[in-house]
């Protein structure tokens, strides 16, 4: 957070609150480094002037779709804007070219249908409201225009909706790729075939997110190993000698990270197997 601007008596501000995190109020008195504040719940509190932040009185009632439009880009201002939009089921908000998504914990299928994909297809970034399709479209167009690989980073804490967001990105990219077949498979089919690996990413039981079982994670990991070409014999050996001991040590933290181990060890095992065959032929 940036350093707050000058606070005077009468300033509308944000002050920390043990229950609400931040609460708005008005400064009614200042003595040295301390400010007396009449907060919106009717109580009065005293806080350090350096710990309070000005409230954006010009922010629209429904919030703004891009945080850079806020007068003050500090924590309480950002959280207030996100909360305001969330109450209206506006789960997406930009901060420049970064998209912030808040898990709605309900179905909003109208946000991801074909009509919505057609709406964002080819539209310059920022002309339409914030959406995961806009990010996917911008990344795709940049890749095509510059003729080089591109990537989209999806991050967040457990249960934030990273896996579902990634699925929406993949669906939109499959839509952009059309139905042209390559090696007998359409683009959409090829994308959907990556789902076992994706399931190994996000369908893990954690303290904050109980959306799967150990059995499901085990099967997802086996399917992921099938995708990268690890044989059944090699899978059993990998599970017995590497993954199960790791699981015992890392408990619930291991399953959502198995895709990394699988992808790295899959090619290594295949390479070592080929090397063994080559050496055997030369003996």
DSSP 175-196: HHHTT-EETTEEHHHHHHTTHH
What average pLDDT does this structure show over 63-77?
94
Whether pTM exceeds 0.75: no
Highest mean pLDDT of the ranges 143-147, 189-193, 217-221: 143-147
Reported as a single tens digit per residue, the pLDDT across 40-57 is: 999 999 999 999 999 999
Ligand-binding site membership of 158 (annotated): yes
Q: Read off φ and ψ for residue 46, nearest 5 degrees.
A: -120, 130
SS3 176: helix
Q: Are 35 and 52 in contact (CB under 8 A)?
A: yes
pLDDT of residue 3: 46
**CA-to-CA distance for 10 and 18, rounded, in angstroms?**
23
153 burial class (0-12, 13-18, 19+ CB within 10 angstroms)?
exposed
Q: Where are the domains of the chain?
A: 12-54, 208-283
Ligand-binding site membership of 161 (annotated): yes
Question: Which CATH code fits 12-54?
Answer: 2.30.30.360
Ligand-binding site membership of 224 (annotated): no
**174 vs 194, which has greater pLDDT?**
174
pLDDT of residue 2: 45
Residue 215 has pLDDT above 60, yes or no: no
Ligand-binding site membership of 280 (annotated): no
Ligand-binding site membership of 157 (annotated): yes
Q: Which of 195, 154, 203 minimizes the C-alpha distance to 174?
A: 195
Pairing of strands 53-54, 12-17: antiparallel
Ligand-binding site membership of 159 (annotated): yes
Q: Are 77 and 84 in contact (CB under 8 A)?
A: no
Ligand-binding site membership of 25 (annotated): no
What average pLDDT does this structure show over 192-202?
55
Mean pLDDT of the chain: 79
Scored b (16 or more CB within 10 A) or e, 79-89 reads ebbbebbeeee
């Amino acid at each position: 957070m940036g350093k707050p601007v000058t606070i005077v008596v009468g300033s509308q501000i944000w002050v920390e609150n043990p229950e609400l995190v931040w609460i708005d109020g008005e400064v009614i008195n200042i003595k040295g480094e301390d400010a007396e504040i009449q907060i919106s719940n009717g109580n009065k509190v005293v806080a350090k002037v350096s710990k309070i932040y000005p409230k954006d009185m010009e922010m629209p009632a429904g919030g703004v779709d891009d945080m850079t439009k806020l007068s003050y880009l500090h924590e309480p201002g950002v959280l207030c804007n996100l909360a305001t939009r969330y109450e209206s089921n506006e789960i997406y908000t930009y901060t420049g070219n970064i998209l912030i998504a808040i898990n709605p914990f309900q179905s909003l299928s109208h946000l991801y249908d074909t009509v919505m994909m057609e709406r964002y297809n080819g539209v310059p970034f920022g002309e339409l409201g914030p959406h995961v399709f806009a990010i996917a479209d911008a990344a795709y167009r940049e890749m095509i225009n510059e003729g080089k690989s591109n990537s989209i980073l999806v991050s967040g804490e457990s249960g934030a909706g990273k896996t579902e967001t990634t699925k929406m990105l993949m669906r939109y990219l499959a839509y952009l790729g059309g139905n042209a077949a390559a090696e007998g498979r359409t683009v959409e089919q090829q994308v959907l075939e990556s789902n076992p690996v994706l399931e190994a990413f996000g369908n893990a039981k954690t303290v904050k997110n109980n959306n799967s079982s150990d059995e499901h994670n085990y099967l997802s990991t086996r399917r992921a190993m099938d995708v990268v070409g690890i044989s059944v014999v090699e899978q059993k050996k990998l599970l017995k000698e590497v993954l199960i001991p790791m699981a015992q040590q890392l408990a619930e933290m291991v399953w959502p990270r198995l895709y990394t181990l699988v992808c790295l060890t899959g090619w290594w095992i295949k390479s070592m197997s080929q090397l063994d065959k080559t050496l055997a032929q030369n003996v």
